[in-house]
Amino acid sequence: MRSPAGDIMAGMAVSHIAHRLRLLRDAHALHALAVAGAACVLSMGVVYVGYFLHVWRTARNAPCVPERGDCVLVFGKHAPAGRLDRDFNARLTRAAALWDSHAPSRVLLLGGGPAGSPTEAAVARKTLLALGVAPDAPLLLEDTSRDTLQNLRNARSLLATAELDSASATREVTLLSSRYHLARCALFAGNLGLRWELCAAEPKLDWRPGTLWRIAGEAGYVCWLDIGARWARLIGYRRLLERLS
């Protein structure tokens, strides 16, 4: 017999998968996917290889200490029943370490979750406090988004509100996430008009098969979104551009 905790985790996994499937049912997203796929096929894979190298170089070269670090965006990750995996834990460990080197004036913890379960942002805050971050640290929770693009859209809105700081919307932000994820974060931040710098969670890129597999997946995702955005600009496809900005 499955335990109640097991039922909760299974429900969260289903919710996470359902959100991804909803994205694939979007006609505009499928249009972009078809164009990106055609570009990869017609180039005999050369286009995809270029994006793979871009994601890999970004992952390899990203600093793990920000140059400015005034406003830090910490990306969440799926955390069933509030349980952190290795990647999410590394992100939060890096975020906690920033107070020793570049004490930020504001940290946005990004990520929502299914109804009735702790959000990624709430899990992140609880973990940072457990890691020694002061209770009065400037932690802001963005807890309604379910993917990277929504993370950044909502963060942009929070930064633009007069209640926070009228100058925040134009300030450079630090994007803190796993190395393999940073190229996607940077792409979306640029599309949304944010000025950004990168901060990697891990001290260096490791060469585990799982990491290379994730880089390969991210390369496909970045290829899809970047080529889709370029195509939309070329043909004036406003509805697709609205999906990406």
Given a cut of 60, is residue 188 above it in pLDDT? yes
Cβ 31 vs Cβ 240: under 8 Å:
yes
pTM attached to this predicted model: 0.86
Given a cut of 50, is residue 12 above it in pLDDT? no
Domains of the chain: 4-59+211-243 (no CATH), 61-209 (3.40.50.620)
Residue 38: the pLDDT is 97
Secondary structure letter of residue 140 according to DSSP: E
Rounded to the nearest integer, the mean pLDDT of the chain is 86
Given a cut of 90, is residue 14 above it in pLDDT? no
Closest CA relative to residue 19, chosen from 152, 124, 115: 115
Show the tokens assigned to 152.
């950044």
Show the tokens assigned to 228.
């889709």
Q: What are phi and psi of 164, to 5 degrees?
A: -85, -60
Given a cut of 50, is residue 7 above it in pLDDT? no
Given a cut of 50, is residue 198 above it in pLDDT? yes
Show the tokens assigned to 60.
């390899």
Average pLDDT of the residues in 196-217: 93
Cα gap 61→102, rounded to integer Å = 20
Given a cut of 80, is residue 52 above it in pLDDT? yes
